Amino acid sequence: LRIPGRAEYLAALDEAVAAALDGRSPPKDALEQAAQKWREITNRLDADKQKSAYRHCVGL
């Protein structure tokens, strides 16, 4: 998706997946960390603006 913060969202997910795969974090904990980072990114970038950008990206 082409939304603001795309690279940050993907980096947070990549970090969580890597932590789960290499044993640094249980998968559930890693996913919770990624979700928390995504919430922080969304809040910083303004959730309403993110929703609008998403709708525009998917043609709604």
In order along its 60 residues, the chain shows pLDDT tens digits of: 789 999 999 999 999 999 999 999 999 999 999 999 999 999 999 999 999 999 999 999
Long-range contacts of 29-33 (CB under 8 A, 24+ apart): none
Q: What local confidence, expressed as pLDDT, does residue 53 receive?
A: 94
Q: What local confidence, expressed as pLDDT, does residue 11 receive?
A: 98
Model's pTM, two decimal places?
Answer: 0.87
**In the chain, where the domains are located:** 6-57
Whether 28 and 20 have beta carbons less than 8 Å apart is answered as no
Q: What local confidence, expressed as pLDDT, does residue 2 receive?
A: 86
Q: What local confidence, expressed as pLDDT, does residue 41 receive?
A: 98
**In 3D, which of 37, 3, 41 has the Cα closest to residue 19?**
37
